[in-house]
Amino acid sequence: MNAINWVACRTLLGKEVTRWRKVWMQTVLAPVITALLYLLVFGHVLEGRVEVFPGVSYTAFLIPGLLMMTVIQNAFANTSSSLIQSKVMGSIVFVLLPPFSALELFLAYIGAAVLRGLAVGVGVFLLAIFYVQVPIENIFVVLIFAILGSYAMGALGLIAGMWAEKFDQIAAFQSFLIVPLTFLSGVFYSIKSLPEFWYQLSKANPFFYMIDGFRYGFFGQSDQPVMLSLAAMLLAVTILTIICVRMLQSGYKLRDA
């Protein structure tokens, strides 16, 4: 078995991070502004009318959900757009010609997705706390779920990027899978407020565990036990890692394309 070439892996990670840093207005600032607009609109309309957790204002409740939504959407966008762009433009060859192993490619792409997710998350948080005070019950839980969430979504973006042959297929993946699963995962509400059928269905949505566990890190309260959410996330990242590495090993729609 080949040992990991850390120089190669770090270089690709550095290149992927540089890629999103160079267009930070589009990749960091724009999603931060969008999240804040959600916060302003929903917070203004629903503040004082809804109390999801005892003692937690609706706007404060909303912040972790919006934060996580922004983190995971950007993690997905980072890997998927990087791959589809380089596939369409042909520059993917610069990554395919060097002696990368599948694991090195995976770690580099996922690392960059996690870092972009965290950068956007920190941006949303720093601006949001000017608007409303949000407690942080356990910073480690917050960080673990932010990292696992962006890891999982970066991996999903990698799968989408390998599978897609055109930009609109990525957009479809985003519109028909990522956005619905995110919006129906309890970003804006507690799933306990849903009718039984939708409550049970929401529990089958893996995105719910990302948001719910993340929210626990802020309030110490959640719809499901935090360890259950952690187990669900660990299972998701394990499955996604295996799928991604296998796809990269076989060169699915990358080599022989």
Residues that bind another protein (CB under 8 A): 2, 5, 7-8, 10-12, 14-15, 18-19, 22-23, 86, 89-91, 93-101, 251, 255-256
218 closest CA partner among 140, 160, 136: 136
Measured CA to CA in angstroms, residue 145 lies from 69, 106, 175, 209 at distances of 12, 20, 23, 9
> For another protein, which is the closer residue by CB, 161 or 206?
161
Nearest approach in angstroms of CB 178 to another protein is 24
> For another protein, which is the closer residue by CB, 11 or 221?
11
> For another protein, which is the closer residue by CB, 7 or 25?
7
> For another protein, which is the closer residue by CB, 42 or 100?
100
**What are the backbone dihedrals phi and psi of residue 208, each rounded to the nearest 5 degrees, phi first?**
-60, -40
> For another protein, which is the closer residue by CB, 2 or 130?
2
Nearest approach in angstroms of CB 105 to another protein is 10
Nearest approach in angstroms of CB 75 to another protein is 19
Nearest approach in angstroms of CB 250 to another protein is 9
Nearest approach in angstroms of CB 11 to another protein is 3
